[in-house]
Amino acid sequence: MEQPVIPCFPDAGGQRPLRGLYLDTELPAAGTGDRPFIYANYVSSLDGRISLPDAAGRQHVPDRIANPRDWRLFQELAGHADLLLSSGRYLRELDAGTAQDMLPIGSGDDFADIRAFRARSGLAPQPDVAVLSTSLDFAVPVRLLEQGRRILVLTGENADDRRVQAHERAGIEVLGLPGVARPGGTALAAALMALDYRRLYAVIGPYALHTLIAADLLDALFLTTVHRVIGGGPFTSLCEGGLLARPGDFRLTSLYLDTNAPEDCSQSFARYDRCHDGRAAGPAG
């Protein structure tokens, strides 16, 4: 982690440490209007792969692009969050031992500075977790519950009562969002704002991201692009679903070149801010 990165935009030249790159970035305390600020992060190959299926058909971040330097920045972004948005699918993978890792923040020495940052910022040691699910067909791993986080499950108004009760017996709060069959959109944002969550880190799959973008709720997108073409298929891009009625327009806010990516290739770290009503949301300042 000691090798620096090269700023390319908006100011080019020089070097800066990788450690702290996203921990030092400014994120608004809330989104536009009366709703939380929501941001997401992905790692992708040059040919757009964020995940590929294994022999059992389960999607995973390809080993050819996963790398410790990107994972460090993934953790730093979690350092800012009040709440992580996740999915039932991720928890099923976590329970089966096939997920990339436990939800951040990591407990190792490498992430001690992130935990210290949260303490200085008046944040809980770990972000709370909101799981988006229609089926509720998953179990929350005990090790996640033991971290002392508040675990919420957000679902639609017609959720299966037996599964709701099973989660509640396990100590999980289940919130059925009124007026929707699937958790998402403005109902999701309103429910979380009412619970006093202001800064949300979306650790979600491409279909859930589609829902956020369609509802104009994603404020910032952080994208690591590993400069490697890997092929493979069928593959998943970062946003999957029907053609958006209104495209999600973003503006490049920052760009860094990392020449210390896996093996002999490089990678870039970009931040894009959503243009709301023709204007980029932009960092606080």
Total number of domains constituting the chain: 1
What is the C-alpha separation between 1 and 158, in angstroms, rounded? 47
280 has a pLDDT exceeding 60: no
108 has a pLDDT exceeding 90: no
Mean of the per-residue pLDDT values of the chain: 89
- In a domain? residue 222: yes
Instruction: Give the CA distances from residue 284 to residues 121, 161, 280, in Å, rounded to whole numbers and listed in that order.
Output: 16, 42, 12
- In a domain? residue 26: yes
Q: Give pLDDT tens digits for 177-229.
A: 988 888 888 899 999 999 999 999 999 989 889 999 999 999 999 999 999 99
- In a domain? residue 225: yes
Percent of the chain with pLDDT over 70: 94
Q: How confident is the model at residue 284 (pLDDT cuts 50, 70, 90)?
A: very low
Q: Parallel, antiparallel, or unpaired for β 220-226 and 37-45? A: parallel
Measured in whole angstroms, the distance separating CA 94 from the mean position of its chain's CA atoms is 16
Q: What integer is the mean pLDDT of 95-119?
A: 84
Q: What integer is the mean pLDDT of 251-268?
A: 93
Q: What is the CATH number of the domain that holds 106?
A: 3.40.430.10
- In a domain? residue 285: no
What is the C-alpha separation between 252 and 36, in angstroms, rounded? 21
- Strands (DSSP E) found in the chain: 6-9, 37-45, 52-53, 59-60, 83-87, 128-132, 151-155, 173-176, 199-202, 220-226, 250-258, 267-276, 279-280
Higher pLDDT, 97 or 45: 45
- What was the pLDDT predicted at 140? 83
What is the C-alpha separation between 112 and 179, in angstroms, rounded? 42
Q: What integer is the mean pLDDT of 82-92?
A: 85
285 has a pLDDT exceeding 50: no
- What was the pLDDT predicted at 53? 83
Higher pLDDT, 259 or 88: 259
- In a domain? residue 187: yes
Lowest mean pLDDT among 26-40, 87-101, 144-158: 87-101
Q: Give pLDDT tens digits for 110-169.
A: 999 999 999 999 999 999 999 999 999 888 887 788 888 899 999 999 999 999 999 999
- What was the pLDDT predicted at 132? 92
Residue 83: which domain range? 6-280
Lowest mean pLDDT among 16-20, 93-97, 268-272: 93-97
Residue 195: half-sphere exposure toward Cβ, Cα within 13 Å: 20
- In a domain? residue 135: yes
**By three-state DSSP, how is residue 118 classified?**
helix
- In a domain? residue 17: yes
Q: Give pLDDT tens digits for 268-279.
A: 999 999 996 644
Alpha helices in 124-184 (DSSP H): 142-145, 161-169
- What was the pLDDT predicted at 99? 64
What is the C-alpha separation between 83 and 153, in angstroms, rounded? 12
What is the C-alpha separation between 262 and 65, in angstroms, rounded? 8
Q: What integer is the mean pLDDT of 98-105?
A: 73
